[in-house]
Each structure stands twice: as structure tokens, then as C-alpha cells.
Amino acid sequence: KKATFFRASLFLLAMAVVPNAEALEITSAMRQGRDFRTSKFGNGVGYAEFAVHDYKLTPAMAYTVNYGLAGLIKAHQQVFKRKVGRGFRVRFRIFGKFEDYAEYSKVRYGKTVEKNLLGFFSGSTKEIVSWKQDPRLTWRLVPTLLHEGCHSIMDEMFGTLPFWMVEGSADWLGEAPAWLQKADGLRRDQHNRWIRLNDMRKKDRLPDLRVYLLSNSYKQWNKMFDDNTGMGYDIGWAIFDFFMTTHPQSTAFLGAVVNDPAVLRGRRTGKMEAAFVQAIDKQWPGGIKLLEKGWHTWIQRKSAAAEQTLRQERAKQRR
């Protein structure tokens, strides 16, 4: 028995001193952003620059991201009436392992990440950090990169925008390209979003629109939605969809408000959300209250369409 105990103790000691995996080395090149490489797109250099770690970046992936970015920049320019600089680039750092993504985020940014944080953009270093995602959710990587790419574009154009719009526009524009809708996981996610929002509407649980538009932090979203930050994204996405797809005049209105002198002054004083709400109250027919009513009706319509689409898809699968 003593011999068995001794062998077991040696085995446990060996397990303790032998690392399970090689620790990530964060080099000075990584810290200084010198390890990014340009990518080709079309007949020239693409908007995307990549730094990858235990992740195989295929030419198809580089093309997909560059194609998406080109469309997103064009869409942002059309809506917000701003242009990016001639040398503007979007820098993507992609890790193959979640553990490395988490370690880099903690050491480089003091940021603790969970798997539900698919990626993030740093305004200070101008880089996007992400990882390849769980095997069953690999479809999420491209939308995540393009969502964060929207943050980079917005940062280039404005620096700061109302909090809800930063996330809502990135969710909507990052998922908007028609070619991306071929991803079944993404399409189902969008349909289910509308159904969730309409369920909240029916239960009178949608937030007061004025209160939501004035929010300026994830902490406020957590409080507003019982620690479900994702609902804050859903609401912002749905509001942006209302402006983008109900009528061309709604889209033009959004672009005009963002560039309103009072809103731009609010950015300099740290009161952009309040200035944005005031501009809507003054310029939208009927103000915030009528906008909120129209938005609720829009949720109802989009949810009905989503439910019909999902029913048709289930019927096809049963055949």
C-alpha cells in the first residue's frame, strides 16, 4: 500500500510540474503592433491587416474579410456622410485558442474575457482581438470580425458616437452583406432576435426608448436588462434596423442627426447621448414618443415575418 501511495504521489507531483500547454509568449512586436501583415484584395492592398497565432488564415478568409470591409466602408460613407483616410487599415489579431485570446486580453489590456465576448476593438491601439470560436460556432467569426471592423470605421470617421449606435450599427452593418446571409446560423439568430423582441413588446418589457438612448455603458445595460448585456445589443440593432430599412428618409434623418452641430458639440463635452436625444425630439415628427411607437410596430412586423420564415423552413425539413 505504501509503494502504491508513493507511486501515486510521484505521478501527481509530475503532473503539477509539467505544464498542460505551452504558455503564450507576448512579444514586443505584438505589444507595439509591428506583427501585422497586409493582405491582397482585388488588384491592390486590402483594408485588412492580420496578425494570427495558431490560426490558419486562408486566402479565402482574407478575401471574405476584405470584401466585407469594402462594403462596410461604402455603407458607412453613404449613411454618415464621412470618409475614411486614404491609408486607413483595419487590424485583426486572431488567436486559434481561446486560452491565448484570454491571456493576451488580460496581459495587454487588463481585460477578463469569457467565451461570450467573441472579440473586441481597442480604440487606443487600433486593433481588433478575436479567436476562431468554438467548433460548432465557427460561423460567428466572420460576423464578429466585421462587427468589430465597424467599430474601427466609426472610430476613424467620428472617434465617438452615442453608445447604443456604436454597438447597434456594428451589429446591423456587420451582418448586413447579402453574401453573409448564406450562413444559416446567422440568419436564424436574426429571426430569433425579432421574435425575442416582440415577446418583450407583448409583455411590456421593452425599455423606455428615451432611457435606452441615453444609456452610455454596459453597466447600465446590465442593470436595464437584468445582467443580460446581449439584450442591449438586440435593442440597438433593432433601432438601427428601423432607421435603415423603414424608409430612405429615416436613413437620411439618422445621418443628418449624427452630423448635427449640437450632437458634435456633445461629443466634445461628453454629453453626446443627451444631445442626440434632444436632436431627435426636435427633428423627428412627433419626437421620441412617436419614434418609439413606430419602432414597436416595426418589431411586430419583423417578428411576424421571422416566424413565417422559420415555419416554412421547418416544413421543408419535414418533407
CA atoms of 67 and 178, how far apart (whole Å): 12
Rg of the chain (C-alpha set):
23
Residue-level pLDDT at 91: 98
Q: What does the pLDDT read at residue 267?
A: 78
Q: How far apart are CA 96 and CA 105, in angstroms?
A: 14
Please give the share of the chain, as a percent, with pLDDT higher than 70: 90
In sequence order, the 6+-apart residues with CB closer than 8 A to the CB of 295 are 209, 238, 239, 242
pLDDT at 176: 62
Per residue in 148-183, pLDDT (tens digit) is 999 999 999 988 788 898 889 888 887 765 455 455
Q: CB pairs under 8 A, 24+ apart, for 192-197?
A: 192/306, 193/234, 193/237, 193/238, 194/238, 194/299, 194/302, 194/303, 194/305, 194/306, 195/303, 195/306, 195/307, 196/234, 197/234, 197/235, 197/238, 197/299, 197/303
Question: Given a cut of 90, is residue 317 above it in pLDDT?
Answer: no
pLDDT > 70? residue 55 = yes
The answer, yes or no, to whether residue 7 has pLDDT greater than 70, is no
236 vs 134 pLDDT, higher one: 236
Mean pLDDT of the chain: 87
Residue 227 has pLDDT above 50, yes or no: yes
Asked if the model's pLDDT at residue 20 lies above 60, the reply is no
